[in-house]
Structure 1
Amino acid sequence: MTSSPDRPDPTRALQIALIMSFVGGFLDAYSYVGWDGVFAGAQSVNIIVTAIAVAQGDWLAATRHLPSIAAFCMGVVSAGSLKTPRMASLSVRLDLAVLALEGTILLLIGILSPLLSASLATAVMAFAAGLQLTYFGHLHAWTYNSTMTTGNLRNLLEALTSITFNRNAAAKEQAIALSKAIAAFAVGGAVGGMATLQLHGRAICMAAPVLFVGICKLSGLSHRSSPTGTSA
């Protein structure tokens, strides 16, 4: 069955979510393995590690994660500003522009990696992760997270609980979709970790073509039905 221009294509929307999740896992594995144990997307870990370092009086270790945290916040704010009614009224496909920007950022990090400091590289990646997390936050009618899995795991367990105890058939589709998103994140992390061990800084270049595939998939959806935080 084909979807009308204003109705989401569920298969393509899921494919885009899986691409986003794969890249999110790849990005965190790459930043952790390749750039001093700092995460691009999992800011909870960065904050906990920073707090532990402060408690231990290791101020150098504490500051190592701060650029990533700050840049992630900037990415979230930037993506949020793009979802205002004024920006949404523009004729430009902002969802495609955001993906193109993220892909370009990752490609440049890979190419320029021998010249970049760890602080700068992780900050730029965290900015990209913040953009992705905030702008692409829906899968069909549900919120999901493409740069970390805690929220997805919680929502999956809630859906499974609803299926088991409330006989909620509608929750089955959500559980299947979230299971696939979590699996895609894990596969991306495994591929990203192995690639970084072999290719070092240039490994992130592998993620850029995946995002450009996402652009192709996303271009087939109308802007109203794209899996951004402004529509479901």
Structure 2
Amino acid sequence: MKKVQQASESFLVAAILTLSGGFMDAYSYLCREQVFANAQTGNILLFGINLSTGNFADALRYFIPILAFAFGVAIAEIVRNCFRNKKYLHWRQVTLLAEIVALFVVAFIPQDLNLLANSLISFACGAQVESFRKVNGNGIATTMCIGNLRAATQAICNYGLTKNLTSKQDGFLYFSIIVIFIMGAIIGNFCVGIWQEKSIIVSAILLSVGFVCMLIPKED
């Protein structure tokens, strides 16, 4: 296992953010008219299908979150360039704060403004996927599973062929992240059933815990 270089790339922070990622996707799908917060491939597919059938209103319902996701990625990149040399606050903490604020706002958006709610969640996911891309030196995603599933399968196959222990450890790392994402979705489903729109505050609290964990000084 590769050595952790900074708190934002630790397994603990990745686990917390992945739990929140699974929660956000479950929330947006179950509570906000079946739009995916993280899986923009699904939104792009549904956008294309609705566009082809002339359901332009429904197509817009998927297209705006796609743009919001891209905007989140762009904002994270701008923040990285503006704060990369700041010693008092890491640029990833800035993007995390933006996510937390966005999710708290979503909690108070009524159902008749689901497009706005889904756009803010997608914005948060875009910022997160751009800001947190490594765990212990391994490329990883905390808001989606397809890349993690590919990497996990590749690593386990490499271990089977070469008996390389690093490949085995990497495979279990990726599979662990996938399991945590599923746990986030399960928790999201449970919380939506109880608190409905307000349940997204749980995701914001998880991100707040991740923010605190990032205050831990990096290892030598």
TM, length-normalised to structure 1: 0.87
Distance 2:41 2:121 in 1: 16
Q: Which moved more, 1:120-129 or 1:90-99?
A: 90-99
The alpha-carbon deviation at position 142 of structure 1 amounts to 1.1
1:1-232 paired onto structure 2 within 5 Å:
7-8=5-6, 13-84=10-81, 87-91=83-87, 92-110=89-107, 112-114=108-110, 117-222=113-218
Report the counterpart of residue 230 of structure 1 in structure 2. Answer: none
Distance 1:163 1:172 in 2: 5
SS in 1 for 2:110: helix
Distance 2:6 2:215 in 1: 12
SS in 1 for 2:109: helix
SS in 2 for 1:219: coil
The alpha-carbon deviation at position 56 of structure 1 amounts to 2.0
Alignment check: 8 A CA contact 1:54 1:62 kept: yes
The alpha-carbon deviation at position 115 of structure 1 amounts to 7.3
Ranges of 4+ aligned residues in structure 1 off by more than 6 Å: none
Distance 1:55 1:116 in 2: 25
SS in 1 for 2:190: helix
Let me know the Cα RMSD of the aligned residues.
2.1
The alpha-carbon deviation at position 9 of structure 1 amounts to 6.6
Distance 2:5 2:54 in 1: 55
TM, length-normalised to structure 2: 0.91
Alignment check: 8 A CA contact 2:83 2:90 kept: no
Structure 2: gaps spanning 5 or more residues: none
Q: Which moved more, 1:47-56 or 1:99-108?
A: 99-108
